[in-house]
Amino acid sequence: MKIAWYLPTLPSVKWQIAKQLGVDYAVAALPPERYYMKPWDFKAMLYAKQSLADAGLKLEVIEPAPPHYHIKLGLPGRDQEIEIFKNVLRNMAALDIPVLCYNFMPQSGWYRTSFSKKGRGGALVTCFDNSLVEKAPLLTEAGCLDDEQIWDNYKYFMDRVLPVAEECKVKLALHPDDPPIPSLQGIARIFRSAENMDRAMQLFPSDYNGITLCQGTFAAMGENIPQVIEYFGSRGKIFFVHFRDIRGTASCFEETFHDEGMTDMKACIEAYRKVGFDGIVRTDHAPIMAGEGGDNPAYEMLGHIFATGYLKGLLEEQDRHRNNYNK
């Protein structure tokens, strides 16, 4: 497994911290719009990749995907967004960036009801409580959309984008819906179970159609994470890993430090090793710790420094165990 950090594409102290932690790989969003360049233009993406490379960091994953609001909702304008998506894939191929992490959560992305619940030692964690949003207004101008409609929109998208991903040899890593509940403010969330994630793989069988295994989201589904890793990993469908944890259920949960949630993290590492996963894993969603401003919930630095050390320790322990076994 290759440890990465989620990093900005403009110079940042986070680049130095990542390198000081022994991290050599980067996950990044498309660069901000500047100098008359759109984020998905080749030149903008080239600058982003080379800026990270100059700092000793190899860009391996683009996350999130380019805008696809209209795609998810099936609204006019989706074909234009699909063309942008295709251009991003072609640029990624030209720049040797192998994985694109995307989701199919219309409008909301990952959704929380609080960013300031007190966790261990007073650290601030994100949380979700569905009872607080059950009476919320509709989320988008598309009105209510059920499972079948979102599946139709997903199929329309994949029919047009997957052939380009295959041509470009860029892997599409589908992220599950977070939170994994049936619907949110009138919009169905179809990727709320391991079964539905597998359905997406079956609908579009391809070496370039796989998943982002977000451990926290699968945990909220009530899944056994090592078993999920073995199922998708043995089929070659894990393209990217989000290493995080929670406490609770899909309808009511809080995020935790990486060593205190309800997932057996050691067993997860053993499962990744068992299936031969050697791709990118990044620490995801860490608490805001003492002294941090909290302007970037889940993505301040101190919690990720802790998580990186914890992850490296688990990997080293597993390697040591395997080496002793092979003697």
Full domain range(s) for residue 74: 2-326
For residues 75 and 149, the answer to whether their CB atoms sit within 8 Å is no
Distance between CA 23 and CA 16 in Å, rounded? 10
pLDDT score of 327 more than 70: no
Residues counted in the chain: 327
Q: How confident is the model at residue 31 (pLDDT cuts 50, 70, 90)?
A: very high
Strands (DSSP E) contained in 19-170 are 25-28, 58-62, 99-103, 114-118, 124-129
Please write the tens of the pLDDT for every residue from 239-260.
999 999 999 999 999 999 999 9
Please write the tens of the pLDDT for every residue from 131-185.
999 888 887 778 889 999 999 999 999 999 999 999 999 999 999 999 999 999 8
Please write the tens of the pLDDT for every residue from 266-320.
999 999 999 999 999 999 999 999 999 989 999 999 999 999 999 999 999 988 8
Q: Could you tell me the CATH number of the domain that includes residue 195?
A: 3.20.20.150
pLDDT score of 196 more than 80: yes
Q: How many domains does the chain have?
A: 1
What percent of the chain clears pLDDT 90, i.e. is strictly above it? 89
Find out whether the peptide bond into 179 is cis, omega within 30 degrees of 0. yes
Please write the tens of the pLDDT for every residue from 69-125.
999 999 999 999 999 999 999 999 999 999 999 999 987 789 999 999 999 999 999
Residue 44 has a pLDDT of 96
